[in-house]
Every structure is written in structure tokens, then in C-alpha cells.
Structure 1
Amino acid sequence: MRDHFEIFFESIEKVGGKVIKTIGDAVMASFISNEQAIMAAVAAVTRFREYNLTRPQSEWVQVRIGIHRGTALLVNLNNSIDYFGSTVNKAARIQNLSKSDEVSFSEDVYNDQGFLTALKAAGVSEVHKRVEDLKGIQGAQVAYTARINTESVIALSGTLVAGRS
């Protein structure tokens, strides 16, 4: 579990993201831009694939990632910042749409041209649109899912993960 969080935290922080909290084995983070979020996702998937190669398959870590953007209520609780609100809930529900090594994202994120450019740079060429009922969110929601391509991710890992060549 320590390695799991270390990989996520480093991947998030090295692109300028901020880890907000852990929820079980999930990590919630905040980013200034959608591009930073996908860069962190690609870096994490890359690192987990490398990590998994050093372990028996029964110990492999399966990574599912969700990205959503919007406003949230920021609260300072016990000397720690936390986010609350429908944006946070939707992000968690979107993450649940992903399978291992996939990233799912909301229509709000998909409509950001900078995000699409970063997604393409990460080697993702196929994005699947879906309409889903998300628990606790009224009405069907449009979401997108993409698989992070192994070969492209490995080629990009040196530029996305600081300190690697």
C-alpha cells in the first residue's frame, strides 16, 4: 500500500497537482488544468506498469482513473484542506466507470481542447463516449473512457516523470 500511494503522490505532485486525501486505496487530487490531470494519470499508469513488471501477476496493482472539473466547497478541517460537493461526487462516480489502465472523464473535461491535445500526446487515439446513470447524480450523464496505450506511455515516461531519463 505504501508503494501504491507513493507512486500516485509523486505522479500528481510532479505535474503541479495537489493531493487532497486518500479514501481507502483511492487518491483524490486537485489540478489547475485538465492537462495536468491527464499528465498525472499517464505518469501513474506508466509507473504502475513498471512496478507490476517486478512483481508476480497475482500482486499487480490495477489502476482506474477518473477526471472531472468544476467548483467545489473548500473546507479547512483539522489543519487540512478538503473538498466537498457535487463535483467531488461526480469525479468519484466517473472513476468507477474505468477498468484497469483506463481513464474516464466527464463531458466538461472532454470539451477542453487543451485536454484533448494532451490526451493525444499521451498516445490515446481512441475515446469511447457513453451515457451512464451515476449513483447519486440525477439524470443520465455523458462520460468518455480511454485506455492508456502501453507503448506510447513507455515512450513518454521520461518526459512526464521528473527525474527519469
Structure 2
Amino acid sequence: MATTTAAQKRAQVKAEYDAFVAACPSRKLLDRISNKWVTLILAALGGGGSPQPGDGCAGEPRAMRYSELSRLLAGVSQKMLTQTLRSLERDGLITRTVTPTVPVTVSYELTDLGLSLHQMMRGLKSWAETYMDEVLANRETYDNRVA
């Protein structure tokens, strides 16, 4: 009987990830990254936010302070922004850097893993903005037909 190394076992489990299977851990990851605040935070840190003077080209990934993110993400509560940033840091999608100034400066930036996801999230944001009128028209047509 052949023995399986730990690396081989990890590779086998990874090959078996299938989000269509109820017990697959990738479902929890999909649930987390499909959140609107995650989408908007990743798009903002990836350069999808409003550029500030001196930041260079729009679209360049950059670090942002908590207050910048809070202003950019209209409607997000302090609690929700904090929870979302912590979950993204835990998943390794962003890094949190604390600079000992008065007051303390905290900034957030995409990791390489976060950068690998941000383009898709930015595309999702762009799609929603581009097709919103069409979706609203379809909703109205459907609601009038059903009523």
C-alpha cells in the first residue's frame, strides 16, 4: 500500500473543491466575497475609487486610510466597515498597516491575493453601473405583468 504525503493530501483536497457540493468550504468564501461591501472595498483599494490629487492615474492600486474608505463608501456603517476590513485581512486579501503618529494612522492595501480578485470585483461594479437602467426597466416590466 502506497503512503500519501501531507502535500499530496492537500493537493487532493484542493482538487476536490466543488462549490456545488454543500459541504465545500469554498461556499463560505463565495458567500464572503459576494458581499456588496467586500466588492466595493476591493474595487476602491484596487484603484476604483475617486482619485485624490497627487495619487497618479485612476485605476492604480493604492493604500487607503479608514477615513478615506468610509467617505468613499457612502452608507456603510462604522461597524460594518470595520467587520468587513477585518474579515478581508483574515482571508489575506488586504493588509492593515499602523503608523505610530499622533493620531495613529491606519491604512489598508490589497495583498497579491487581493489584487488577483480585485479586477473581477471592479468588473462586477462596472457591470452593475452600466446595466442598472436595463435591470430597472426589466423589473418594471415584470412587476406590471405579474400585478
Give the alignment's TM-score, normalised by structure 1: 0.28
Q: Which has the larger radius of gyration?
A: 2
Give the alignment's TM-score, normalised by structure 2: 0.30
Give 1 or 2: higher helix fraction.
2
